[in-house]
Chains A and B, each alone.
Chain A
Amino acid sequence: MIKLKTDSVILKFFFILFLLLLVFNFFAVSEFEPFDLTSEERISWWLDHYRELRCEYGLSQVLGSFNLDEEIYIRAEPSGNIECFGKNFWVDYSPEKKIEDGWDNYSPKKFTIRISTNVHLDLLLQSLFFLTFLSFIPKTVKYEFKYRKIVILLATLLYYLHLYGEKAYYSSISRDFDYLLIVRDYEDSISFNNFYIYSYLLLLVIIFYFLLNVLETRLQNIINYFPFIFLVWGTYSSLNLNFFFILFSIIGISCSLNKKPNLKFLLFYSFLSIFWLFNSNNENTNFDVDKIRGFINTSESYGSILFWIIVFYFIVIGFNHTISISRNFIDVNLISKNLLISSSLIVVLGLLSSINQIVNFFTYYFLGLNKTGMGSFESIAGNTWRGLAPSAEGVGEFYAFVILFFIYNFFILKNKMNNFYFLLLVINCYGLYRSNNFAALISMFIILILFLLQRKIANKKIKLLIVLLLAIVFLIIIFVFFSDYSFDFLSNIMLFEGVMASNIQYEFELNQYNQSAAEQANYGLLLKLPDRSTNFSTSLKYLINSYTYGNKISNFPSLLSVTSAISYFINRSEKWGIFFSKYNPDFYELMFGYGPYQLSEYFSSHENIYKDGLILPHSSLLSYLLFFGLVGLTIIFCSFLILIYKKRENTYILFLIMFLSINYLKSDSLLYFPNFVLLLFVLNYLYLKKSKPEEIVE
């Protein structure tokens, strides 16, 4: 019999890649000779041509039409129509500009070519590509998805709710957007012509169908390949959705139909959900989610909040279920190797995409990145180079985690690895160096010391003594390095930044140095001013009050002062100050939060001087305070402690959790889906581990 299908994954991959490049008109040849953009007049002519003839030329035709020596950027434009997909949408031009403080230095001319993409075609083509990636995972034992049709139906309804809930976002990128299945016209006639929603729903059904097909033979092996979601992010170019988040939510739906839920958890979560829904403003806002797109709510509507409540539950349930059924298939050595391959590919592709803008665009599109990779090999402000990842912090943590996991696998578990993986380790170290994540580096070294102590020293007392000694040395170093700063300065720097970020309307009398009471940090006076003049958020006002009048123990710093001092040394005083100037909860919001992945209400509820742009809290702890409030955080924290206590013998995994926890205090990583999955993986891995020591101390 003729073999109708190929088993070669590489061949499949290149075939799909070729098809997708074809869709982008990538092989179309320009009908014009390359145009020499030597004068402003010629540039103007060229710009007019491509602006007026929108939707006429493919990417390669536009690129081939002018001198490629100029600095170009290629960006996706999600508001394109289906028939314009992959064609020119707009061309931006920034002429040479004198660089500030430079004598005669000019920034180069810059062209930004915007290429049309479209919600429906992105959903189709990117899913096709992600499904192909998923099909690379080797097959294992078949897992039977029960009630498959019901799962597909429920998942489709859930993602219909997403479109309905976030209508402000989708209508902003498509003028044909309409969520109604049956449209009633002016003359009360009913029509079934809303093909926007019909094709969206049909696409979902098709994607879910193939997803379940691909998953049923690979589900129990998927955890071994989870590191690749740091490479293939799976975020759709024009939707606020992520492919892997859809994957785990579907598994969650399937699992919920088959297994009895944890009633206590479900009841508590339902109670919180009711609060979140009642607390919502029910406004169809369109919050600009920028680089955290795909894993954050854009709206404050009931529909969107309900969607994120349900989907968050299903993702967590789905991931837990996946890892519990994969128990016998989890191969730590394979995971470690995949972590190394994934992190090295991130570095290599990051370098390639910074050198070539075409690679930059296609890696963004096909890998489903949240943000286009760095357009330059040089580091940006803060000396960080994030490569393909949307956040240098998040990817830096990942690189450091890869190194720690490698050490755990190679030195502790004694699994074999060949020289190739050592080369990958070097590439990974280079990525960590370029990400310039100092906190990840320091915390990695601390964990390495703990690894070493745990491995080499059996006596608990000696171990404790060494840890104490090291802690004292560390504190002395900090003291020596930072003794130039006064305690007064360090203890209030975070609040000072918060006050500076507040939208204060009061006309202060200035002192002889032209400083206002706010600039002098005269909190006593600021607290006496009416609220409408200071515009302090409730959280900032509470903290200032607590700082000024709260601490009654003399010669002992308050928790707030310590936090402020730490925030200064880890470069977070400004960011956390801005956070507190914005965070304006009432009592119930403080207790229960705004809901899972709901940042919109936090941003819109109180104004500070930063009105534009996405300024994140720069701490996953603060982000989760926004989502789940103090009650939610306490429960999460207690669950953590119980888990850690129960599994206290698995010391090395606890060290890995410690590493992640330290970093999450100062980074927004948990707002990115891959980092969230990494945390879920480590926690579930610890949970599944049998309570016995992992190693025999030499």
Chain B
Amino acid sequence: MKRRIEVICGKTDAVPNFTEISNTPNYVFTPDPNFDVVSLFDRDGNVVNLNSWIECAYYVNGGWTDNLSDFVNGEQMLFFSLLVFSSIYLVGKRMFFDRMFSS
């Protein structure tokens, strides 16, 4: 998530404490005049404009994004698909093909 925050909100030396923000019901984000406003959306299509780095980071950490494809983790799907197919191949090869061709 750190990488995505850096991509969307930019890099900073500040260390955000997301737990503290979540646990404070009336937490108010202070707008940063030096921060370029970032627009994010969620899965339902809600849009939010964010005025500070910490606010942006908090929303990205909460699953909001500026890129539609972030809702799908293609690499994760590919990784597990490959893992499953490789396992099936290796098990199948050992139990089925090797035995069949050796006989």
A contacts, CB < 8 Å to B: 1, 4, 55, 81-84, 118, 120-121, 124, 175-176, 178, 183-187, 191, 193-196, 198-199, 202-203, 206
- Of B3, B67, B86, B97, the most chain A CB neighbours within 10 A belong to B3
Residue of A nearest to B90 (CB): A209
A-B residue pairs, 10 tightest by C-beta:
A82-B74, A195-B75, A199-B79, A81-B69, A195-B76, A199-B78, A199-B75, A178-B3, A195-B79, A196-B75
Whether A183 pairs with B2 at a CB distance below 8 angstroms is yes
Whether A186 pairs with B15 at a CB distance below 8 angstroms is yes
Selected from A55, A83, A184, the residue in CB contact (under 8 A) with B2 is: A184
Other A-B pairs beyond A202-B79, A202-B82, 17, CB < 8 Å: A1-B100, A55-B68, A55-B69, A81-B74, A83-B72, A83-B74, A84-B69, A118-B74, A183-B2, A186-B18, A186-B57, A191-B1, A195-B73, A195-B76, A198-B79, A206-B82, A206-B86
Whether B83 pairs with A120 at a CB distance below 8 angstroms is no
Residues of B60-84 at the interface with A, using a CB-CB cut-off of 8 Å, are: 67-69, 72-79, 82-83
Q: For the complex formed, measure the closest distance between the CB of B66 and the CB atoms of chain A, giving whole angstroms.
A: 10
Selected from B2, B75, B78, the residue in CB contact (under 8 A) with A185 is: B2
A-B contact pairs, 9 of them (CB 8 A): A1-B100, A55-B68, A81-B72, A82-B74, A120-B78, A121-B78, A191-B1, A196-B75, A199-B76
Whether A175 pairs with B7 at a CB distance below 8 angstroms is yes
Complex Cα gap A32–B7 (Å): 37
Whether B77 pairs with A82 at a CB distance below 8 angstroms is yes
Selected from A176, A184, A191, A206, the residue in CB contact (under 8 A) with B75 is: A176
Q: For the complex formed, measure the closest distance between the CB of A172 and the CB atoms of chain B, giving whole angstroms.
A: 12
For residue B16, CB closer than 8 A to chain A, the reply is: yes
Complex Cα gap A364–B3 (Å): 33
Whether B75 pairs with A198 at a CB distance below 8 angstroms is yes
For residue B17, CB closer than 8 A to chain A, the reply is: yes
For residue B19, CB closer than 8 A to chain A, the reply is: yes
Question: Which residues of chain B have C-beta atoms less than 8 A from A195's C-beta?
Answer: 73, 75-76, 78-79
Complex Cα gap A124–B74 (Å): 14
Question: Which residues of chain A have C-beta atoms less than 8 A from B78's C-beta?
Answer: 82, 120-121, 124, 195, 199
Complex Cα gap A195–B81 (Å): 12
Complex Cα gap A382–B19 (Å): 65
- Of B16, B78, B86, B100, the most chain A CB neighbours within 10 A belong to B78
- Of B67, B68, B74, B79, the most chain A CB neighbours within 10 A belong to B74
Q: For the complex formed, measure the closest distance between the CB of A225 and the CB atoms of chain B, giving whole angstroms.
A: 26
Complex Cα gap A191–B100 (Å): 43
Residue of A nearest to B69 (CB): A81
Complex Cα gap A120–B82 (Å): 11
Question: Which residues of chain B have C-beta atoms less than 8 A from A194's C-beta?
Answer: 3
Q: For the complex formed, measure the closest distance between the CB of A617 and the CB atoms of chain B, giving whole angstroms.
A: 37
Whether B69 pairs with A202 at a CB distance below 8 angstroms is no
Question: Which residues of chain A have C-beta atoms less than 8 A from B4's C-beta?
Answer: 176
Give the size of the chain B interface in residues (CB under 8 angstroms): 28
Residues of B30-87 at the interface with A, using a CB-CB cut-off of 8 Å, are: 57, 67-69, 72-79, 82-83, 86
Residue of A nearest to B71 (CB): A83
Question: Which residues of chain A have C-beta atoms less than 8 A from B16's C-beta?
Answer: 186
Whether A83 pairs with B69 at a CB distance below 8 angstroms is yes
Whether A175 pairs with B100 at a CB distance below 8 angstroms is no
Question: Which residues of chain B have C-beta atoms less than 8 A from A193's C-beta?
Answer: 76
Question: Which residues of chain B have C-beta atoms less than 8 A from A199's C-beta?
Answer: 75-76, 78-79, 82
Complex Cα gap A1–B1 (Å): 53
Q: For the complex formed, measure the closest distance between the CB of A271 and the CB atoms of chain B, giving whole angstroms.
A: 39
Question: Which residues of chain B have C-beta atoms less than 8 A from A81's C-beta?
Answer: 69, 72, 74
Q: For the complex formed, measure the closest distance between the CB of A191 and the CB atoms of chain B, giving whole angstroms.
A: 8
Question: Which residues of chain B have C-beta atoms less than 8 A from A178's C-beta?
Answer: 3
Complex Cα gap A176–B76 (Å): 11
Residue of B nearest to A205 (CB): B86
Question: Which residues of chain B have C-beta atoms less than 8 A from A118's C-beta?
Answer: 74
Complex Cα gap A178–B19 (Å): 25
Question: Which residues of chain B have C-beta atoms less than 8 A from A55's C-beta?
Answer: 68-69
Residue of A nearest to B97 (CB): A4
Residue of B nearest to A120 (CB): B78
- Of A120, A124, A186, A193, the most chain B CB neighbours within 10 A belong to A186
Complex Cα gap A529–B19 (Å): 64
Complex Cα gap A1–B86 (Å): 26
Question: Which residues of chain A have C-beta atoms less than 8 A from B76's C-beta?
Answer: 193, 195, 199
- Of B75, B77, B86, the most chain A CB neighbours within 10 A belong to B75
Question: Which residues of chain B have C-beta atoms less than 8 A from A191's C-beta?
Answer: 1
Question: Which residues of chain B have C-beta atoms less than 8 A from A4's C-beta?
Answer: 97, 100
Residue of B nearest to A180 (CB): B3
Given A184-B2, A185-B2: A82 and B75 interface contact (C-beta under 8 Å): yes
Complex Cα gap A438–B14 (Å): 63
Residue of B nearest to A121 (CB): B78
Whether B75 pairs with A120 at a CB distance below 8 angstroms is yes
Given A196-B75, A199-B78, A199-B79: A187 and B67 interface contact (C-beta under 8 Å): no
Complex Cα gap A47–B86 (Å): 42
Complex Cα gap A198–B4 (Å): 17
Complex Cα gap A266–B3 (Å): 40
- Of A1, A55, A178, A195, the most chain B CB neighbours within 10 A belong to A195
Given A120-B78, A176-B75, A202-B83: A183 and B3 interface contact (C-beta under 8 Å): yes
Q: For the complex formed, measure the closest distance between the CB of A131 and the CB atoms of chain B, giving whole angstroms.
A: 14
Complex Cα gap A118–B77 (Å): 14
Complex Cα gap A176–B19 (Å): 25
- Of B1, B5, B15, B67, the most chain A CB neighbours within 10 A belong to B1
Question: Which residues of chain B have C-beta atoms less than 8 A from A1's C-beta?
Answer: 100
Complex Cα gap A191–B2 (Å): 10
Complex Cα gap A292–B73 (Å): 32
Question: Which residues of chain A have C-beta atoms less than 8 A from B18's C-beta?
Answer: 186-187
Residue of A nearest to B20 (CB): A187
Complex Cα gap A203–B100 (Å): 28
Complex Cα gap A55–B18 (Å): 33
Question: Which residues of chain A have C-beta atoms less than 8 A from B97's C-beta?
Answer: 4
Residues of B2-26 at the interface with A, using a CB-CB cut-off of 8 Å, are: 2-5, 7, 15-19
Q: For the complex formed, measure the closest distance between the CB of A486 and the CB atoms of chain B, giving whole angstroms.
A: 60
Question: Which residues of chain A have C-beta atoms less than 8 A from B75's C-beta?
Answer: 82, 120, 176, 195-196, 198-199
Question: Which residues of chain B have C-beta atoms less than 8 A from A187's C-beta?
Answer: 17-19
Question: Which residues of chain A have C-beta atoms less than 8 A from B3's C-beta?
Answer: 176, 178, 183, 194
Question: Which residues of chain A have C-beta atoms less than 8 A from B19's C-beta?
Answer: 187
Complex Cα gap A82–B69 (Å): 9
Question: Which residues of chain A have C-beta atoms less than 8 A from B2's C-beta?
Answer: 183-186
Given A183-B2, A183-B3, A185-B1: A175 and B79 interface contact (C-beta under 8 Å): no
Complex Cα gap A310–B5 (Å): 35
Residue of A nearest to B79 (CB): A199
Question: Which residues of chain B have C-beta atoms less than 8 A from A206's C-beta?
Answer: 82, 86
